[in-house]
Structure 1
Amino acid sequence: MTSWYPKNGRVIFHVDMNSFYASVEMAYNPDLKGKPLAIAGNPEERRGIIVTSSYEARAKGVKTTMPLWEAKRLCPDLIVMRPNFDRYREASKEMFQILANITPQVQPVSIDEGYMDITDCKYMGTPIYIAERIQQTILHELDLPCSIGIAPNKFLAKMASDMKKPLGMTVLRKRDVAKKLWPLPVIEMYGVGNKTAEKLQTIDIHTIGDLANADVLQLRVLLGINGERLQKRANGTDDREVDPNAVSEFKSIGNSQTFPHDTTDDVEITKMLRKLSKQVATRMDRKQVSTNHLQIMIRYANRKTITRSKPLPDSIYTADDIYATANHLFQYHWNQQPIRLLGVTAQHFIDKQESGMQMNLFTYETEAKKEKLYDTIDQLTEKYGTNPFKSLKEVKSNSITTSFQKDFLDDFKRQ
């Protein structure tokens, strides 16, 4: 048994739930099993996209991020369900509790995947035995399938878990890298997106093997320090530890949304910017931070995308202030062409309790007037148990946003 555990190395698992949202719905309603099922938001609008789908739907060509109308064209008998976030949160909490029963060295990455360091679990059995135990426990207790990658580091564990789905289990050792990873297209490597792959192809890097054996100086010129980092990963090297406290770390808070149709309408654009600013402010409030750097994203009808950011002299955290800054950025950089998508992102955070509001003569009077309003809202919220100025539609909203996966980590942190 001890031969499975290296003397000076680690044994890392990457546990990846298979088709998580769809699988949770099947667990709640077994009649859905074996049928093409997709989870999507806003099916009546263009921004309705496939969030996830069952493997039966995938066999018909249905893919994540595919427009709903296209998915239905490929699979006319597709069953479409709106997301049930409460179910997914609860299922995820139970899944991570099963992992925590094995070892406290668990690092959630999102609502449906996480890393485990089982190096100190020798007394439980071989890594294969422990992985089978985890997989079967999740399947029998939650009726949910997962795949597990077993490797000496996080990168290889992640790559291994993607090699066999659903209910897969793959061991990927460093000595296997040349045979199992190098022949794969570079776009299939974790950490390489479409834009990075396109850049790599300009210097004739098409496979992971090409990347592993490329000139490191050329990679640094092309991709900066990330080029060298990716090359090390392509050679199977990754010294990142499994960090249970990493769930508390975040670098940005952003929301984006596609319009139902390409638009140049000021009213629609203003309404969207206010909505996104409010969502960002709400998430910042949950984390008790303010920001001194804001970024907007504009995607035009031709899919050209620009991002523009602005450092702020004073930290902000209210929806009004975020909107004011986002709108200023937008008005300055918009080229008047039809817009497909908008995004607002806050960066460079400061603990709200430590920062305070750096008021000056121009902001003091405005903020002072707002304080009475804030106090009244807080008093009514305390009395009635919820903010009475929130619309019922907002409270019960069940639409997909870009923040749900990340915000789950806050829930995990508070457990």
Structure 2
Amino acid sequence: MTDRFQHTRFEEPAVGGGLPPLDPWEGPAILLVDLDAFFASVEQLDHPAWRGKPVIVGGDPDKHGVVSTASYEARPFGVRSAMPSSTAKRLCPDAIWTHGHFDRYREMSDAIMGILRAETPHVQQVSIDEAFLDVTPTAVNREHPARVAERIQRRVEEQGVTCSIGVGTSKTIAKIASDMDKPRGLTLVYPGGERDFLAPLPVRTMSGIGAAAEEKLRSRGICTLGQLADADLRMLERVFGKLGRVMHVRANGGDDAPVEQDDEVKSVSNEMTFAHDLTKRQDVEAAIATMAAKVGRRLRRKGLRGRTLALRVKFDDLSVRSVQRQLIEPSDDELAYTPLLYRMIDEVWRPGTPVRLIGVGMSGFEEEGAVQESLFDVTEAAPSTGDVEPVVRDKCKRRGLIEATDLVKNRFGETAVRFGRELRNEENTTGSSSKNPADYK
């Protein structure tokens, strides 16, 4: 094979395997397995009548909803993930809409992650529908990485959905390669072919280069990854700091970030987008209480207590402000930390300002006293004062109340028992949901 990178497509296996003859692979081998239009694919699997038709999983078009996933039949109309549902409805008026069935998606994801872990223990799940694998050939196992990828594709297809896989010498290369030939594609970038593969691609293709970085690069005549690879390193470091060196190394095909065998949860969060913006304090506090309760419930189910509490608010102009506090002691008790959230909201919001989304998160599980990088990209942080009264002052009574409600929910479902404040915004949600990798580990 003369090219050092190659696209191939999963088909029924021919004699001797489904792939053409392969050059030997020498060096690291990283796979990125990306489930194709995952939520929509599961819906089509579970609803045979929807197969071959445009399916959109997301929030209501008339309630500030966003698209979580669009099937490949919907994409020719211009529908994309994270697009406002109202726009998607205009582009594809005949699409089938569903808010989604996230327990079902988790069930399917768990089954597929089991397939990946059967291939290698070196698996790093990065979201509900993506995972890196290290399948570097060893002295004991010389199997070609492409053969491993082909087998994974077949086993995933047996579950009723498909995946696209990128194979390269690093996570950066594998990630970009996985996006090159969707759906059901398999793209190989052989050792030594990284520069040629990356060179013609736009700089925005690389993870970590957002709109602001792209504009700074373009203003300096750098539009492709090849131009980035040839750029002056000192200039990049002057403009971007440490990120400049990382960008330069990756554009040249390097990246030694390992596939982390780390199933440890780094954060637990939940957020809600509202069909109608909130402007009154009682409505905002009710939404905070609802999100805080969901986070507390997840923490207890995972056996986790965190020290770093985060609050995120998105306004009607789509601007976002966030704040975090370090708790005096680790907590999984929303009755204790919800009043602190009420105080935190005053730092980023004033009554009357329309609020589109509220999110609550907890992190800081590893080291007591450490404020970890926030799941909400928080720009403001300070220790809590410790003078905030919990909803129920007596700790034993508070714990008893939480344990009792958990028992009822475990037996009868999450909506079996709720505080009155949790019902205030019940009819004011969009049905949208976002992927939170931490909640799938």
1:128 to 141, 146, 162: 146
1:165 Cα offset (Å): 0.2
Task: Point out where structure 1 has 5 or more consecutive residues left out of the alignment.
Answer: 353-359, 410-415
1:168 Cα offset (Å): 0.4
Residue 254 of structure 1 aligns with which residue? 269
Query: Using a 3 Å threshold, how does the CA distance of structure 1 residues 378 and 149 change in structure 2: closer, same or farther?
Result: same
8 Å contact from structure 2 (residues 127, 435) kept in 1: no
The residue identity in structure 2 corresponding to 1:258 is T
1:156 Cα offset (Å): 0.7
8 Å contact from structure 2 (residues 265, 438) kept in 1: no
Distance in 2 between the 1:133 and 1:195 partners?
40
8 Å contact from structure 1 (residues 380, 388) kept in 2: no
Residue 136 of structure 2 aligns with which residue? 119
Greater helix share, structure number = 1
Residue 36 of structure 2 aligns with which residue? 18
Query: Using a 3 Å threshold, how does the CA distance of structure 1 residues 72 and 389 change in structure 2: closer, same or farther?
Result: closer
1:22-171 correspondence runs (5 A): 22-41=40-59, 43=60, 46-120=63-137, 123=141, 125-139=143-157, 141-171=158-188
8 Å contact from structure 1 (residues 109, 247) kept in 2: no
Distance in 1 between the 2:22 and 2:72 partners?
37
Query: Using a 3 Å threshold, how does the CA distance of structure 1 residues 36 and 72 change in structure 2: closer, same or farther?
Result: same
1:166 Cα offset (Å): 0.5
Of the structure 1 ranges 376-385 and 11-20, higher mean CA displacement relative to structure 2 is found in 376-385
Query: Using a 3 Å threshold, how does the CA distance of structure 1 residues 406 and 153 change in structure 2: closer, same or farther?
Result: same
Residue 6 of structure 2 aligns with which residue? none
1:180 to 178, 197, 201: 197
Distance in 1 between the 2:169 and 2:317 partners?
44
List per-residue Cα deviations over 1:254-289 (Å, max 9, x = no partner): 333322223322122111111222222223333433
List per-residue Cα deviations over 1:295-346 (Å, max 9, x = no partner): 3223222222222333444444321333222221211332553222223333
| Secondary structure in structure 1 of the residue aligned to 2:268 | strand
Are residue 407 (structure 1) and residue 439 (structure 2) matched? yes
8 Å contact from structure 2 (residues 166, 187) kept in 1: yes
1:44 Cα offset (Å): 6.4
8 Å contact from structure 1 (residues 296, 343) kept in 2: yes
8 Å contact from structure 2 (residues 337, 390) kept in 1: no
| Secondary structure in structure 1 of the residue aligned to 2:73 | helix
Distance in 2 between the 1:315 and 1:99 partners?
34
The TM-score normalised by the length of structure 2 is 0.78
Are residue 227 (structure 1) and residue 244 (structure 2) matched? yes
Query: Using a 3 Å threshold, how does the CA distance of structure 1 residues 364 and 74 change in structure 2: closer, same or farther?
Result: closer
8 Å contact from structure 2 (residues 35, 161) kept in 1: yes
8 Å contact from structure 1 (residues 380, 387) kept in 2: no
Q: Give the count of matched residue pairs.
A: 396
Distance in 2 between the 1:145 and 1:88 partners?
14
Distance in 1 between the 2:390 and 2:113 partners?
48
Of the structure 1 ranges 317-326 and 71-80, higher mean CA displacement relative to structure 2 is found in 317-326
Distance in 2 between the 1:384 and 1:292 partners?
25
Distance in 2 between the 1:203 and 1:268 partners?
47
Query: Using a 3 Å threshold, how does the CA distance of structure 1 residues 385 and 116 change in structure 2: closer, same or farther?
Result: closer
| Secondary structure in structure 2 of the residue aligned to 1:83 | coil
| Secondary structure in structure 2 of the residue aligned to 1:16 | strand
List per-residue Cα deviations over 1:60-100 (Å, max 9, x = no partner): 11111122222121112101122112321222222222223
Of the structure 1 ranges 27-36 and 175-184, higher mean CA displacement relative to structure 2 is found in 175-184
1:39 Cα offset (Å): 1.1
Distance in 2 between the 1:195 and 1:147 partners?
29
| Secondary structure in structure 1 of the residue aligned to 2:166 | strand
Distance in 2 between the 1:206 and 1:402 partners?
31
Residue 322 of structure 2 aligns with which residue? 307
8 Å contact from structure 1 (residues 216, 227) kept in 2: yes
Distance in 2 between the 1:181 and 1:384 partners?
50
Distance in 2 between the 1:66 and 1:31 partners?
25
Residue 340 of structure 1 aligns with which residue? 356
Q: In angstroms, what is the RMSD of aligned CA positions?
A: 3.4
8 Å contact from structure 1 (residues 11, 117) kept in 2: yes
Larger RCO (CA under 8 A, 6+ residues apart): 2
The residue identity in structure 2 corresponding to 1:408 is Y
8 Å contact from structure 1 (residues 46, 67) kept in 2: no
8 Å contact from structure 2 (residues 335, 392) kept in 1: no
The residue identity in structure 1 corresponding to 2:36 is N
Are residue 349 (structure 1) and residue 349 (structure 2) matched? no
Task: Point out where structure 2 has 5 or more consecutive residues left out of the alignment.
Answer: 1-20, 369-384
1:207-218 correspondence runs (5 A): 207-218=224-235
Residue 12 of structure 2 aligns with which residue? none
Residue 374 of structure 1 aligns with which residue? 399
Residue 386 of structure 1 aligns with which residue? 411
Distance in 2 between the 1:101 and 1:389 partners?
33
